[in-house]
Amino acid sequence: MTPSDRQRRTRRALVDGARALTAEHGLAGFTVEQLCELAGVSRRTFFNYFPTKESAVLGVDPDWDEAFLERFRSIPAHDRLGPLDDLASLTVDAFAEMGTTRDEARTMVAAVRREPRILAAFIEQDRTQEQRLTDAIVDRDGVDPLAARMTAVLLGAIVRTTAQQVFEGDGDLAEFADVLRAHLDAARSAMHDSPATPITRTKDA
């Protein structure tokens, strides 16, 4: 096992443990030491990965996020399908690499329900990622910033609805690519069903 593999396993153990303990006890209901015991690591190791219990529940990995964006930027020009399709394909690969199970996804949902402030943190995290995606699209494709932002927003919506269907329903990770592609096609169809029309304010009767 390589050092990077060990780091990924350690991070995964801490995230999974933090979410499980939060779902059962709430953030205030367990200590960092208890989380470390569950994950089989030292307190020092925990703080090498996360500054707080809340950050462990969120599970953000800045290096992984940057690697995702670098993959997007580095797609050769002749292989690019467009920002949305390229990002969708990379997202499928990312979920396959993470190997998230239905039980893990449900534990995360349970943690959010137990601690509503975690939801606020996830929303803020999504906003940050959305902005980083927007910037990457503008830099790579030279498109209008608003178009880039809408691409990032649409991708986020498609990924969320896909994850909900796969992990909260009867699907499994093996179906993630097919479900995401179906949602992407449906979104594309919805956008092209009718010509664009100006939005006007309805006059008072």
Q: What is the CATH number of the domain that holds 48?
A: 1.10.10.60
The parent domain of residue 40 ranges over 1-57
**Residue that wins the pLDDT comparison between 133 and 193:** 133
pLDDT of residue 59: 86
Task: Flag whether 197 is in a domain.
Answer: no
| 169 has pLDDT over 70 | no
pLDDT of residue 49: 93
- Percent of the chain beyond pLDDT 70? 90
- Write the DSSP symbol of residue 94: H
Q: Verify that 77 and 126 share a domain, yes or no.
A: yes
pLDDT of residue 1: 54
- CA distance to 53, 80, 87, 153, per residue, from 186 (Å): 38, 21, 17, 15
Task: Flag whether 88 is in a domain.
Answer: yes
Task: Flag whether 196 is in a domain.
Answer: no
Q: Which of 21-35, 46-60, 100-114 has the lowest mean pLDDT?
A: 100-114
pLDDT of residue 79: 94
Mean pLDDT (the chain) is: 86
Q: What SS3 class is residue 89? A: helix
Q: Verify that 69 and 19 share a domain, yes or no.
A: no
pLDDT of residue 204: 56
Q: What average pLDDT does the segment 178-189 reach?
A: 89
pLDDT of residue 171: 59
Using pLDDT thresholds of 50, 70 and 90, give the confidence band for residue 193: low
Q: With b meaning 16 or more CB within 10 Å and e meaning fewer, what string describes 20-50? A: bbbbeeebeebebeebbebbebeeeebeebb
Task: Flag whether 142 is in a domain.
Answer: yes
Q: How far apart are CA 158 and CA 185, in angstroms?
A: 10
Using pLDDT thresholds of 50, 70 and 90, give the confidence band for residue 191: confident
The runs of H, that is alpha helices, within the chain are: 3-25, 32-39, 43-49, 53-58, 62-74, 83-98, 102-114, 116-141, 145-168, 176-192
